[in-house]
Structure 1
Amino acid sequence: MAQVREVRLKSRPVGMPAAENFEIATVDLRDPGPGEVQVKNLWMTVDPYMRGRMNDVKSYAPPFALGEVMTGGAVGQVTASNDPNFQEGDLVVSQLGWREAFTAAPAAAGLQKLDPRGLPPQAFLGVAGMPGLTAYAGLLRVAALKDGDVVFVSGAAGAVGSLVCQIAKAKGHQVIGSAGGAEKVEFLRSIGVDHVIDYKAEQDLTQALMAGAPEGIDVYFDNVGGAHLEAALNAARLFARFAICGMISIYNATEPPPGPKNLALLIGKNIRMEGFIVSHHFDLMPKFIEDLSGWVREGKVTWKETVFEGIDKAPDAFLGLFTGENLGKMLVKLA
């Protein structure tokens, strides 16, 4: 019987997670039983939402259990199958990341056969997967992008934010993007963002935002919260729409952070602010993949990946999300 490694949640973090909150365990990989498959994971994803699952609180996704292997998106290859719908060699997407391999029933693993459509397999954990659909649904359905809109995106160099920028540009819109550091600023300029804010170099985010959009913004795609949300409220035009995707600036807070001090601007400006979770928008996936494939062929969409290698580096990759180490999608290459 082969042995494989997996990452378990050893303890619940208080504030910023640390290496000691994780442990690497070696387990036996059993042969598949009736109706089961065995999969060797090739890639796994780490995502900011996983921080919430490290807390023992009720949310839209159940918390990780202490002492148990964590879960998340992964791309793998079937190495043995007792299910007629899956053959040895098939590429698959599952929700059983954070491990080198697994044996499970396809339904329990959330197993789906992968049709690469000319894209690299790991793209289905990023631009062509959950982050990509998040960008698509948040911009087009939640924020209801319309002709002439000026779009502001925070966390714009990340997996979600960078695609939001490119979709908006593909549809002919002016885009302002915020990110931290020279490398990320240069990347945003390379994908056509009209005005880039290096928030680490700015004392006044509102002033920096208004420099790029003197007449204000119509759409704000929020990945950060905090000061970025306040600046967006200040810069919003009448009837602006805010799609609240994430607020990574507060995920590691040890006490409730203060809310935006200018929230009352929602009233006079008639702003619609809506939070959303991508799982409520999976009906858009076929249309999203169709549109994405076209944008890639036309050279309107590209993407970056930050890759850590080996299951033992998965915690480091996850922690890097909160220190700004990722440019584009943060991934762990397992094989």
Structure 2
Amino acid sequence: MSALNRRWRVAGMPSEHLETSHFALETVDRPEASDGQVLCRVLWISMDAAQRAWFQAATYRAAIQVGDTMPGFTLAQVVESHCDDFAVGDIVAGDLAWQDYVVADPNNLRRIVPNRPLSNYLSVLGITGLTAYFGLLDVGEAKSGETVVVSAAAGATGSLVGQIAKLHGCRVVGICSSPEKQKWLTSELGFDAAVSHRDEAFRQKLKEACPEGIDVYFDNVGGTTLDTALSVMAHRGRVVCCGVVSQYDTSTPVRGARGVPGVLILKSITMRGFLVMTDYADRWDEGLRALEGWLEDGSLRVAEDVLEGLEKAPEGLIGVLNGVNVGKRMIHVADPL
């Protein structure tokens, strides 16, 4: 175990787009755990578009400040324990940081007993998979025979939402950013159709892909894509508000969707947001059992986009914001001891 610790600090606040210059990698002494704490060695770091929103005050956590170590959801291994809850060698998941070693409060960690590749516990068997599961089936109330549309469909959450919808007998249409992703969604993941939001005829293509209208729209991006989807909604459609990636990496976000609440009233549409970490904390085991079952029988495909090395974290996040990833992007920092 190294006596040194590499960590990414926030070096500046972005006024517009996030850049690698907003982070600084430094090497310091490894932190020491006190009574009641554990020292964790970071193994995997999740790259999530919402991390860009953490630089702003309007989010579910305190805004990041210059000088802070960049936070992030991680998988880690306990290498030193001063509590009864965790033993040396335990694999844990938690909201830790972009660094090699983190001192953690045991109350903020969840033990993982892996029987699949560790990376799966940040993707399909982590917050990403649970967000897709509860967002689609509980918030969106998707039913067999309905048309489900998901934006950022080739991303971490979207790719799972579409697959779960297909498993429940829905017609699935993905919204993505390129012909290559459209082909991947339909040929590899089994989506019924895919359209690009960059297509000049986007609205018309979406209408053609959803001739009966959209019953459930799982929104990961907001902005003009949300506006377009609302115009194609079916009567009594449901909009699941999961993310607003189009609005994170800018100083001039679009405020609200056009036509709201008018279009909601005319079509009896329901829009609902959620946070899986708080709204469904007491039902995680239910979601994990379902996801594990689909993995076991091969009906759910895992799509992971892995970058090697802690030094890749800033460019990894920026890539997610620019939509370059296919599936769940994460950073592989180290293997278990």
Q: TM-score, normalization: structure 2?
A: 0.93
Equivalents in 1 of 2:175, 2:58: separation in Å?
31
2:119 alignment counterpart: 122
Give SS of 2:231's match. helix
Task: Report if aligned partners of 1:205, 1:227 keep a CA contact under 8 Å in 2.
Answer: no
Deviations 1:123-168 (A, max 9, x none): 1212111111111111111112223221000101111111110110
2:228 is the alignment partner of 1:227: no
Partner of 1:12: 13
Q: Aligned letter for 1:39?
A: C
- Which amino acid counterpart does residue 120 of structure 1 have in structure 2? P
Root-mean-square deviation (CA, aligned residues, Å) is 1.6
Q: CA deviation at 1:199?
A: 2.7
- What's the offset of the Cα at 1:86? 1.9
How does the TM-score come out when normalised to structure 1?
0.93
Which stretch of structure 1 is more off in the superposition, 148-157 or 81-90? Answer: 81-90
User: Matches of 1:73 and 1:102 in 2, distance apart?
Assistant: 12
Partners of 1:320 and 1:256 in 2: how far apart? Answer: 19
Query: Does 2:78 align with 1:68?
Result: no
Task: Report if the CA contact (8 A) 2:143-2:168 is conserved.
Answer: no
- Write the letter of the residue equivalent to 1:291: A
State the SS of the aligned residue for 1:321. helix
**Within 1, Cα distance between the matches of 2:253 and 2:35?**
49
Q: Take 1:62 and 1:148, find their aligned partners in 2: how far apart are those partners?
A: 42
Q: How does 1:129-140 map to 2 (within 5 A)?
A: 129-140=126-137
Conservation of the 8 A alpha-carbon contact between 2:241 and 2:273: yes
CA distance in 2, matches of 1:36, 1:267: 52
Q: Contact 2:46 / 2:330 at 8 angstroms: preserved in 1?
A: yes
Written as runs of structure 1 = structure 2, the 5 A alignment for 1:1-335 is 2-55=3-56, 57-107=57-107, 110-116=108-114, 118-189=115-186, 190-200=188-198, 202-257=199-254, 259-263=256-260, 264-279=262-277, 280-335=279-334
What is the identity, as a one-letter code, of the residue corresponding to 2:3? A
CA distance in 2, matches of 1:97, 1:22: 13
Equivalent position SS for 1:95: strand
The superposition leaves residues 237-263 of structure 1 with CA deviations (integer Å, 9 ceiling, x where unpaired) of: 110000011111121232242643343
Superimposed CA distance per residue, residues 196-238 of structure 1 (whole angstroms, 9 cap, x where no aligned partner): 11333x1122211111111111000001112221221121111
3-state SS of paired residue (2:161): helix
Amino acid at match of 1:74: T
Structure 2 residue runs of 5 or longer lacking an equivalent are none
CA distance in 2 between counterparts of 1:251 and 1:85 reads: 37
Runs of 4+ in 1 over 4 A off after TM superposition: none
Count matched residues.
Answer: 330
- Measured against aligned partners, the alpha-carbon deviations of 1:28-48 in whole angstroms (never above 9, x if no partner) come to 114433333222111011211
